[in-house]
Every structure is written in structure tokens, then in C-alpha cells.
Structure 1
Amino acid sequence: MTSTPADEFPHKALDPSPASRRVVAAWSLYDFGGNAFNTVMLSFVFSVYLTGTVADDKAHGQLVWSQLQTIAGLVLAVLAPLMGALADRVRRRRVLLSATTMVTIALMAACFWIRPEDSYLWWGAGLLATASITQDLAGVFYNGMLPHVSTPDTVGRISGTAWALGYLGGVVCLVLALFGFILDGGMLGIPSAEALNARSVALLCAGFMLVFSLPIMLLGPDGHPASRAPFRPAAAYAAIARRVARMWRSERPLLHFLVAAAIYRDGLNAVFAFAGVIAATAYGFSPAQVIYFGLAASVAAAVGTWLLGRLDDRLGPRPVILASLASIVVLGLVTVAADSSQVFWVAGILIASMVGPVQSASRSLLTRMIPVGLENETFGLYATVGRVASFIAPALVGAFTGLFGARWGIMGIVVTLLLGLLAFWPLRVEGITHRR
């Protein structure tokens, strides 16, 4: 796909005047609180409780979990652009963000009633699958606020700081869960009978997310309705299709970016999704070592994202994305070649420190390219295209693992990131991505 220099597209949706510090802080804290769901509920604690304790058979539990998460991804792919178009039409981003966030919090809290009995497996997996849909829809509205809380000179720093706070929030909530509820009976002394301690983690995450979401619900940029005409989903999908066709004709750099980013974002997601599994199966990490590795990786990701977010504003997001992706590819190759748990530890931490910067810089780059009034629709397309490509890394990880063994699963991630890097490379966006 050819692309033209993006200096034809000025900082379209970005507000030229900065938002107040308290609005920026409120927006950033939402990332801090929201990652309790991703880190604790989906990755390290409650999903493990569902598949390993609630389910009578772990393999069956993992199958149910994967099936419902796949369905959730398909539903999100359908709903994300529609909800984004709705937000751009009614211009009530704060209201929509608050509604989807509160539903997510309620679904997390409801997980407290998932008892350690196999009959509760589908209920628990269903609650979290539904919560993953509402959480990602909230992310569409949340990202759509970025142009209104940042300026052309601060978008990279603000995006990077918030993304780093997200990793940090996940670490804080995970530590609270582990030492307050799970390990050695937990400091709070909640009994383990009927898995009450593990179930209570759901209430912790719901409360954590609620506290840090309240500021944006009160202070987040909202807007006024763009039209009083009724919103019709069928017409909205037709408009989205026309938008994609228009992007092919006159906004090809934006379309180019959406496609390339979908590929490498799938690889980035696979880094955290498969790192613990590979650590345990290929390098013999114990469950405790996997958790500590996950904590170290999350801290490294937070630090890397915060630091490179500053370079985003100075050099532009494109160099940050290219350099980080290339570094991850090289480190992945070194890890496979070395076949050492020590190298895996060091390389894994370094890789984690570069995952967040790519994600954050991608968000800031997209923000710089969005046409005015189409912020949420475009972020909805961003989510949808990402879901469409979400099979690439898991398929390649499975293929390399099946052919060569568990350690070679890393190559599936490396190949995915390399494909994304090669797809992104021709895009030229320097004209709009550096501080003037």
C-alpha cells in the first residue's frame, strides 16, 4: 500500500489550547484504574481461578474461557465502530464512557458470587467476556478524548504518561490482590474456604477501578450533540463503509496505519499473553516465578512508556514505533538462540519496556491523523481492525510450538512483529509528528 507524506494532514482533531491540569490528570488516572481488569481479572488471578479451580477439568476450563473470549472479540469488532460513530454523533463521550465503565465495574463485582463449582464456570467466563466487551468499548470513548486533553506538542507525553500509569495501576492492584488476599492466606485474613479470598479479589478490582474512574466521569471532556437526527445503526454502518472507501481514496496514510498497526499490535498483545505460558513450559518457571516475572515486566513497561513518551513529542511517534519494534524483534531472536532462562529474564524485561511505548506512540500517531469530529469512530475502527488481525500471533505461536517445541513459540511473536514492522515502514508521517 503506497502512502503520501502526512504533512498534508495537519493536527486535525487536536485542540490547539491545552486542557487544564486537573482534566489531564483525570484522563490519565482512568488508565491507572482500568488496568486492574486487564492485569488482575483477565491475566493473573481471576481467570486462573476460573480455569483452575471453578472448572473440574482445567483443559475444559481453558476451552470455555477461550471460546467466550473469542465470541467477545467478534462482538467487539461489530460494535466498536458503531459505538464510536454514536459518540461522534451525540458528542456525549463522558456519558458513554461513564455508562460502559460502570457496567464493567458491576460485572467485575458480580464475579464475587462465582463459587468454586463447575456449574459456575460458564457464568464466570461469561461475566468476564461481557466485561471485556464493555471495557474495550469504554476504551474507544476514552481514546476519543485524547485529542481534547492534549495539544500537538503534548500528545505523545500525555498518551505515554497515561499508558505508563496503566501498567503501574495493574502492578499496584496485583500486589494488593496477592499480598492482601492470595499468598499465605493474605494479610487481610480472608478465609480460603469456598475460595472466598480469590472471589474477594473481584470486589477489590471493582472498587479500584471505580475510585480512579470517578475523576474522568466528573471532569472528562464531553461536548454537545452534533445532530438532533435519530441515530440509526444501519445507516451508521453504511456511513462507516463509506468512510473506509473515502480513506482509500483520500486518506490512504490513515488506512495504511490502521492495517499495519493491527498486525504489530497483535504481536504486542501476544508478548504479555504468552510470556507467562512460555516461561512455565519452556523454562520451568514456577507459578510464583511467573507472577514475579509478570510484576517486573509490568514495571519495566511503565518506565519505558513514560520515558519514551517524551521522545514521542520531540522526535515523533514514527521513530519510537520503528526503533521499539526493531529492538523487540532482535531481542526475541537472541532469546530463541540463547536458550537460557537468564537470557529470557533479561530479554523479557527489556522487551516489556518497549511494548508500552509502541502502544502509546500508536495512539498518539492516530490522534494526530484523525479528522475533526470523527475521533471516536476512528478509534472504533482502530479497535475493529485490531480484532480482525488478532488471530495472526496466536496461530504463529501455535505453529512454531507444534513444529519445534515450546521455546520456539517466541518466534511466532517475532514473525508477527516483523510483519507489522515491514508493513508500517513505508508510512511517512514526519510532517505532523515533531515539535515545531
Structure 2
Amino acid sequence: MSIWVAAAVGNYFYVWLKKRLDLRTKTVLLINLAVFALINLYGSIGLIPNLPFGFKSSPEMYTYAAIYGFHIGAVQSFQRALFADFTIPGRETEFFSLYAITDRGSSWLGPLVVGIIRNFTGSLRGGFVYILLMIVLPSLGLAFFVDHDQGLTDRVRAKLPPCPMIDYRIPEDSIAKLGSSAAVVTIIATLIHCHPLVLLTFNH
């Protein structure tokens, strides 16, 4: 419960910080990911034998939980905001459906990998290394290969133009040659499928 309270506080803090310093959404997200990387690096250091630190005491773990909670809300909020900046107008449902599938649909992978690490090493501490890699590698990709400004431009270019109002006039003698009302229904259904805004008129 305390983690999610800290998450709410952290989320408001980073929204305030973004406005105060006029930061980009991508920048705020990278700041939070850098903090996550640092705390998992600290946990990974605990793999070194005989070190008295590296999340080996209760105060360290409470500190870890507080830092994690303070930043997790901002990460979730700003990553969705950044993703929204890249969605094509009018196709938001498709993009966020894919987002939900890749987000929640892959949630089993982390526990599986950490479980395998635990089986091979006899310790859960190796999970810090795995989490560190899963944070650092995508963060590098985000920092150096994702152009926020270009993405905003491309999403506008990719926007599909509205379907024009098209007047399909089917001569009466052509309808007579179709042979059955089922054929007429098929043609009409095809036209409507291809052009959402279709005006059909029959000449008499």
C-alpha cells in the first residue's frame, strides 16, 4: 500500500517538475529509468562477496521500496503519454490494444527468468542484474534511436484522410442484369466496406 501512495506522490512531483523545467515527456521518462537502473545496479553490487551493502539489510530494502514506489507511477504515466504522442489519429484503439498486449501479455516473462536464475544460482540476487539489463538496453534505444519530434511529425503524415462522400449511381438496367436481390446486397455491402461514407442512388 505504501508503494502506491509513494507512486501517487511521485507522479504529481514529476508532472510538476516537467512543467517547472519545461521538460520533454521523453526526458522525464529517461530520468525515471535512470533512477531504476541505479537502484538495480546497487542491488547487483550485492553479488560481490563480503560487501556489507547492496540491499543486504532491512533499512536498504525499505529505502529501495520507497524509491521504487516514488518513480513507478511516473514511469507508467509518462511512458503512456509518450506512446500516445506516436499513435496515429483515429487509430488510438489499435495502438493501445497492442500496448496492452505487449505490456500485460509479457508480465510472465520476468518472473520466469528470475525463477530460472534462482534455480541455477541458488539466489534471487541475480534478478537485479536481469532487471538492470532490461532497463538499460531499452533506455539506450529510447535515448538514441527514438526521435520524439520526428515521431510527432510522422503521426500526422500517417493520418488517413477522411473518406470522401462518393455518389455511386447504378443504372436500373444494370440492376436487372444482376439476377437476384442477394447480388445487389453483396455489391452494396462491398461498397460500404470499402467506403464508410457511401451514398447509393438508383436511377429510374
Pair in the same fold by TM > 0.5: yes
Question: Alignment partner of 1:372: what SS?
Answer: coil
| Residue identity opposite 1:325 in structure 2 | L
Q: SS at the partner of 1:399?
A: helix
Residues 364, 311 of structure 1: alpha-carbon distance in 2 compared, 3 angstrom cutoff: farther
Q: How many residues were matched structurally? A: 138
Counterpart position of 2:16 = 310
8 A contact 1:309–1:360 mirrored in 2: no
Q: Which structure would you say has the larger RCO, counting Cα contacts within 8 Å and 6 or more residues apart?
A: 1
Whichever residue aligns with residue 369 of structure 1, its letter is F
Change (3 A) 1:385 1:365: same
- The separation in 2 between residues aligned to 1:403 and 1:418, in whole angstroms, is 23
Residue 395 to residue 420, structure 1, CA distance change in 2 (3 Å): farther
Which of 91, 114, 117 is the aligned partner of 1:397? 114
Query: Which residue in the other structure is 1:77 paired with?
Result: none
Partners of 1:390 and 1:423 lie apart in 2 by 21
Partner amino acid for 1:328? F
| Structure 1 unpaired stretches of 5+ | 1-294
Tell me the distance in 2 between the aligned counterparts of 1:367 and 1:312. Answer: 17
Secondary structure of 1:371's match? coil
Q: 1:354 pairs with 58, 66, 71, which one?
A: 71
Alignment of 1:230-379 (within 5 A): 295-312=1-18, 314-336=22-44, 337=46, 338=54, 339-379=56-96
Following superposition, the deviation at residue 391 of structure 1 comes to 4.0
Q: CA deviation at 1:429?
A: 0.7
Which residue of structure 2 aligns with residue 415 of structure 1?
133
State how far apart, in whole Å, the 2-side matches of 1:399 and 1:423 are: 26
The correspondence of residues 208-219 of structure 1 with structure 2, limited to 5 A, is: none
Partner SS for 2:107: coil
Can you list the C-alpha shifts for 1:19-39, whole angstroms capped at 9, x where unaligned? xxxxxxxxxxxxxxxxxxxxx
1:306 positional shift: 1.2
In structure 1, how many angstroms separate the alpha carbons of the residues matched to 2:23 and 2:149? 9
Are the aligned partners of 1:393 and 1:416 in contact in 2 as well (CA < 8 Å)? no
**In structure 2, do the counterparts of structure 1 residues 363 and 428 end up closer, same or farther at CA, with 3 Å as the change threshold?**
same
Write the distance in 2 (CA, Å) between the matches of 1:305 and 1:417: 19
Q: Give the drift of 1:345.
A: 1.1
Q: Match for 1:301: what amino acid?
A: A
Deviation by residue 1:105-136 (Cα, 9 ceiling, x = unmatched) = xxxxxxxxxxxxxxxxxxxxxxxxxxxxxxxx
Identity level (%): 28
In the superposition, the TM-score normalised over structure 1's length comes to 0.29
Counterpart CA distance in 2 for 1:424 and 1:391 is: 23
* Residue 189 of structure 2: aligned partner: none
The change in CA–CA distance for 1:379 and 1:373 in structure 2 (over 3 A counts) is: same
Superposed displacement of residue 329, structure 1:
1.2
1:416 positional shift:
2.0
Asked if 1:406 is matched to 2:124, the reply is yes
How far 1:366 sits from its partner (Å)? 1.8
Shift in Å, 1:430: 4.5
User: Secondary structure, in 3 states, of the residue corresponding to 2:125?
Assistant: helix
Aligned position for 1:381 = 98
Cα-to-partner distance string for 1:238-271 (whole Å, 9 max, x where unaligned): xxxxxxxxxxxxxxxxxxxxxxxxxxxxxxxxxx
1:396 CA drift (Å): 2.5
For 1:312 and 1:389, locate their aligned partners in 2 and report how far apart those are by CA, in whole Å: 30
Residue type of the alignment partner of 2:148:
V
Structure 2: segments with no counterpart, 5+ residues: 47-53, 153-204
Give SS of 2:88's match.
Answer: coil
Structure 1 stretches of 4+ with a deviation exceeding 4 A read none
TM-fit CA distance, 1:378: 1.3
RMSD over aligned Cα, in angstroms?
A: 2.2
> 1:339-386: per-residue Cα shift (whole Å, max 9, x none)?
222111102211221111111011111222222211112111111222
Say which structure is richer in strand: 2
CA distance in 2, matches of 1:368, 1:312: 16
Q: 2:129 & 2:61 partners in 1: Cα distance? A: 13
Asked which structure has the greater CA Rg, the reply is: 2
